Amino acid sequence: MTELPELIKGVKKRKKSFQRELYNRYAPIMRAICIRYTKDHDEAEDILQEGFIKLFTKINQYSGAGSFEGWMKRVFINTSINYIKKKRNILFHYDINDIPNDGMTYNFSDESRYNSGEGDIDDDDFTEEEIMTIIGKLPDGYRLVFSLYAIEQLSHKEIAGMLNISVSTSKSQLFRARKTIQKGLAELSKAKQEHKKKLESIRQKGSNLRLIV
Amino acid sequence: MDKDFNKIDKLVNSKMQTHAVDSTVNSWAVISRKMAWRNFLYFRLSSINIYYVSLFLIASIWGTLSYSNATTTSSSAGSFAVTETIRDIHSQEINPSNTINIEETFTNPEKSNPETQFTSNTIASNETQLIKAANNTDNNYNTEQINATVNNTKLLNKKASSSAAKNDLNELTHKNAIIEGETQISSNINISQKVTDLSPKTLASELSSLNQDFAIKTTNVDNLIQESFSTTKYSELDFMSPIFLENMMLFSDNEMDPDFKRDDTLEFYKLPSERTSWLIEAYFSPLYTSNVTKSIDSEMAEFINTKSEIESPVLSFTTGLNIMYQGKKNILLQTGVAYTQLGERIKREDMEQITTSTIPIYPDGGYDHYDTITFINLDSLNQGIHYTDTMLEHSWIVDNSTHDVSDTAKYKGTNTRNKYTYIEIPVIGGYNFEGPGFDLQLKAGLITGFWLNSEGMKANPHNSMELVDMNSDSPEYRKVNYAFTAGFNVNYPISDRFNLTTGLMYRKSLFDIHDSYLYDQRQKGTELHLGIQYRL
């Protein structure tokens, strides 16, 4: 396997073999990023192709400072966000602190109302695919902000600049995203526990039967 | 709650950092196909690209036309030589000083090599020899010697056999029976030497078809076939007769006219490379231009990435006057003055929501359902920005009851072009390849650009998604910038002094367009050169 600096050099010279090797090495990770942002596999495929073409044509802009994988991820994230912008307008539900009190509204500062009481979440309870499924069910605005904050670890200011929204919108979207994910994880955990119990009872019944026999 | 949320963040982060999904089988094939085209349009020394292919095609066309014209040239050379020969015959008195040594020729027949290249005088002198030999009743010349002379004449006929030369002869034949007579006689003598089935009547009839004014007598060719020239009555063809000479003078005024149209073949032989000349050129050329941005500062990497996302090449122009010197050995030197606009397009779909409304959130569970209808506000398009209007039909579904809210939102986009204006002075050298119908010039050189102004928008270096005026934040554009240029031109003459010129020239800034700024930006472009040249 070619060393990364050598690989980058070859890609900068537009050599096809190096481009292919870079693609083989990083395509699965980048595709996962694309799916995370667009949630549609066909769209993710289009974004992946567009992203790699941009990468190959603009690789001379990578000056060598900072991580190459990080730079590459940013290319794909930007490509994903731009793709989504072109295809559909992303809706952000604005901060409800501004709305008149004509219904049952909530102030985000009232944390007790949002305590789901579902208990601790264990890392080992969930697979990557299950996490992806839960994230995929989020609305566009929630999903983008949450992914950029929790996974790419950008600040609200950076997210606001990237998505051209206010910092407060970014915060409220993140809050709602976390709530939704938390609920989703809790339901999934509950379902898994129930499934486990069922399996256990079936096993016990089975072993009792053997004993009888 | 923060603790719970932090756990969620941590959980998702740990799972997603290493998450990978295999791409589809055809994915690389699609990328490879699209990159093949992009690589072909990209100039690299070490691989085939559109620039090499274009040059190869032009060189092939030029080479093919040169070769085919060379063949025509040879034919014209034959006709030129024949015409000139005939002129020589008519315009010159036939006297011994114009002939080669007959004795030498006849005693040394091996010297009379049919493959020898004949000068016009040699051909003329051979004709003269023939005539002299025919008139010679000395009987000193044997058949072999005469045959040698006849073989030399065959060479004349070979030259005359090319289609161009034949055409010339045919043209002249109608006007000048003398020429016809001479060539006929030459060819007939040739025929009579090698073909035995040519009857005397055929030759006689050919000779009798000559212009009646010459009163040329027929001759008995039997002896020509069987005997040496000494027995021929060739001498009956009296080229020195007064009638012959009188008519020769009559026709010579036309055929010997130096301005006779055959002169153009003479003109053809003047080697253009021996000319040196000055040319003035005026041009207006479309220029496909963009920029290349870099920074060694790792903190600028994200900004540069975002900047490149919103920028794209734009069609601009350059126009000006050049003065060119084409010296000996086809060397070119060129300078001039030009007004050039470089730039790029800024295009971004913003998500700035201009108008908003409030949406109530219901705490007892439920889900959000919305439909949107999106359309572009056409009135805004010509302002360099555009608005996308979105109508939302928003519903919050709770326990099978719905609470409908209608809402609208506006989203703003930007689509504008940046301009960097320069007065430029190019200094270019090159080489001219002459072709039959056009010239191919390869050029390279330096452009000195004096900055006039810049206008447009740019991504804010401090907030990459914000667009600000290009001149904000004091970018300090260099007053003088330098660019390298290289490419090729094709010049097509439309008259003696005017040429049309076209070609492709690539250019790229050698330095950052800023004196000192947060990032390095250089302009590049490809020019489709269109102009007209006047030779002084």
Question: Is the pLDDT confidence value at B380 over 60?
Answer: no
> pLDDT at residue B370 above 60?
no
Residue B534 above 50 pLDDT?
yes
Q: What pLDDT digit, counting tens, does each position of A116-171 carry?
A: 444 455 556 788 888 888 888 887 788 888 999 988 888 888 888 777 777 888 88
Average pLDDT score over chain A: 76
Mean pLDDT is lowest, of A22-31, B396-405, B446-455, for B396-405
Task: Test A126 with B15 for CB contact under 8 angstroms.
Answer: yes
Give Cα separations from B266 to B68, B80, B155, B254, B399 (angstroms): 19, 8, 22, 17, 102
Is a pLDDT exceeding 80 seen at residue B204? no
What mean pLDDT do residues B123-144 have? 48
Which of A172-181, B99-108, B253-262, B437-446 is most confident?
B437-446
User: Would you tell me which residues 440-469 of chain B have a C-beta closer than 8 angstroms to some C-beta of chain A?
Assistant: 463-466
Q: Which residue has the higher pLDDT, B47 or B271?
A: B47
* pLDDT over 70 (residue B434): yes
- In the predicted model, is pLDDT for residue B279 greater than 80? yes
Contact state of A16 with B39 under an 8 Å Cβ cutoff: yes
Predicted pLDDT of residue A86: 72
Q: Is B28 helix (H, G, I), strand (E, B) or coil?
A: helix
pLDDT of residue B489: 93
pLDDT in tens, B470-496: 887 777 888 999 999 999 999 998 888
String of DSSP letters for A14-82: T-HHHHHHHHHHHHHHHHHHHHHHH--HHHHHHHHHHHHHHHHHHGGG--S-S-HHHHHHHHHHHHHHH
Among chain B residues, the shortest Cα distance to A113 is held by B363
Q: Test B358 with A98 for CB contact under 8 angstroms.
A: yes
**Neighboring chain A residues of B396 at a CB cutoff of 8 Å:** none
Q: Please give the pLDDT value at position B419.
A: 92
| B10 or B414, which is more confident | B10
Q: Is the pLDDT of residue B141 over 70?
A: no
**pLDDT at position A102:** 34
Residue A114 pLDDT greater than 60, yes or no: no
Which has the higher per-residue pLDDT, B395 or B73? B395
- Whole-number pLDDT of residue B234: 35
Q: What is the mean pLDDT of residues A89-96?
A: 51
* Residues B455-465: tens digit of each pLDDT: 888 887 776 66
Question: pTM for the complete prediction?
Answer: 0.48
pLDDT of residue B250: 41
* pLDDT at residue B435, rounded to an integer: 78
For residue A14, give the nearest of B44, B296, B350 by CB distance.
Answer: B44
Average pLDDT for residues B332-340, to the nearest whole number? 95
CB contacts < 8 Å between A and B, how many? 200
B119 touches chain A (CB under 8 A): no
pLDDT higher than 70, residue B248 = no
Task: Determine, for residues A182 and B5 on separate chains, whether the beta-carbon distance falls below 8 Å.
Answer: yes
Predicted local distance difference test score (pLDDT) of residue B294: 82
Higher model confidence: residue A183 or residue B138? A183
In the predicted model, is pLDDT for residue B268 greater than 50? no
Q: Which chain B positions have a beta carbon within 8 Å of A182's beta carbon?
A: 4-5, 8
CB contact under 8 Å between B364 and A161, yes or no, is: no
pLDDT band at A31 (very low <50, low <70, confident <90, very high): very high
The mean pLDDT value of chain B amounts to 64
Mean local confidence (pLDDT), B123-151: 49
Q: Which of A49, A71, A180 to mutate to test the interface with B (most CBs of B within 10 A)?
A: A49
Q: Which of residues 13-72 of B touch A (CB under 8 A)?
A: 13-24, 27-28, 30-32, 34-35, 38-39, 42, 44, 46-47
* DSSP structure string for B179-241: HHHHHHHHHHHHHHHH-S---HHHHHHHHHTS-GGG-PPP---HHHHHS-GGG--GGGS-TTS
Q: Report, as an integer, the average pLDDT of A193-206.
A: 78
Give the highest mean pLDDT range of B146-150, B410-414, B459-463, B496-500.
Answer: B496-500
Q: Of B317, B388, B377, which Cα lies nearest the Cα of B351? A: B388
Segment B346-374 mean pLDDT: 53
Does position A182 have pLDDT exceeding 50, yes or no?
yes
- Residue B117 contacts by C-beta under 8 Å, 6 or more apart in sequence? none
Residues of A with CB below 8 A from B305's CB?
A: 61, 71, 74-75, 78
Query: Which one of A116, A146, A164 has the shortest CB-CB distance to B351?
Result: A164
pLDDT score recorded for residue B311: 87
B376 touches chain A (CB under 8 A): no
pLDDT at B428: 96
Residues A48-89 pLDDT 10s: 999 999 899 888 878 777 788 888 988 898 888 888 877 765
Report CB contact under 8 Å: B298, A63. Answer: yes
If you average pLDDT over residues B6-27, what whole number do you get? 82
Q: What are phi and psi of B217, to 5 degrees?
A: -90, 155
Separation CA B8–CA A199 (nearest Å): 28
Is-contact A109 A151, C-beta < 8 A?
A: no
